[in-house]
Amino acid sequence: MALFGNKTTKKDEDLKDKKKAVSDSDKTMKDLYAEQEDKKSGGTKVNNKRRPGGKSLSARTLVKPLVTEKAANLSDNGKYAFIVNVNANKIEVAKAVSDVYGVKVEAVNIIKMKGKAVSRGRIKGSRNDFKKAIVTLKKGETIQIYEGV
């Protein structure tokens, strides 16, 4: 007699394990990424655009646009630079840029940057590590990031 929930037998558990083994081997990369998103949201279907905590997924992925002379020169070729969340991957960055700016992303390149060593008097430390993303857009599409610069 089970006190909490339904009683399961060893045969039921073996069938579940077999089904899981078969389904894991037939999955594509898209299916795995979709599962990864479901696990992050707690296993229930949640609107991924809004999460508890107030910020949308796109706002948490994109930290800020990178405004430098080199990034401004890249924008002539349809490439834009962003500082992104350290835990973000290429797929999340592409979705975030398309959500926020309403453009179609062709490619994303990501670079992990090490924080610089800094010292103030006798105290030595370092800045935080960060991640840079170079986003290539489809031909003819632009983002107005450097308007007032």
Q: Which of 52-66, 69-83, 105-119 has the lowest mean pLDDT?
A: 52-66
Better pLDDT: 118 or 7: 118
Q: Under CATH, to which class is 49-140 assigned?
A: alpha beta
Task: Give the C-alpha separation, 25 to 38, whole Å.
Answer: 19
Which of 114, 119, 97 minimizes the C-alpha distance to 106? 97
Which of 138, 89, 139 minimizes the C-alpha distance to 110? 89
Domain ranges of the chain: 10-46, 49-140
Task: Give the C-alpha separation, 30 to 95, whole Å.
Answer: 14
Task: Give the C-alpha separation, 16 to 19, whole Å.
Answer: 5
Task: Give the C-alpha separation, 46 to 42, whole Å.
Answer: 9
pLDDT digits (tens, 9 = 90+) for 13-27: 666 665 555 455 555
Say what the pLDDT of residue 46 is. 44
Q: Which of 50-54, 111-115, 136-140 has the lowest mean pLDDT?
A: 50-54
What lies within 8 Å, CB to CB, of 139 at 6+ separation is 78
Place of tokens 């089904």: 19
Say what the pLDDT of residue 133 is. 96
For the cut 80, the answer to whether the pLDDT of residue 56 exceeds it is no
What lies within 8 Å, CB to CB, of 138 at 6+ separation is 78, 103, 104, 105, 106
pLDDT range class, residue 58, cuts 50, 70, 90: confident
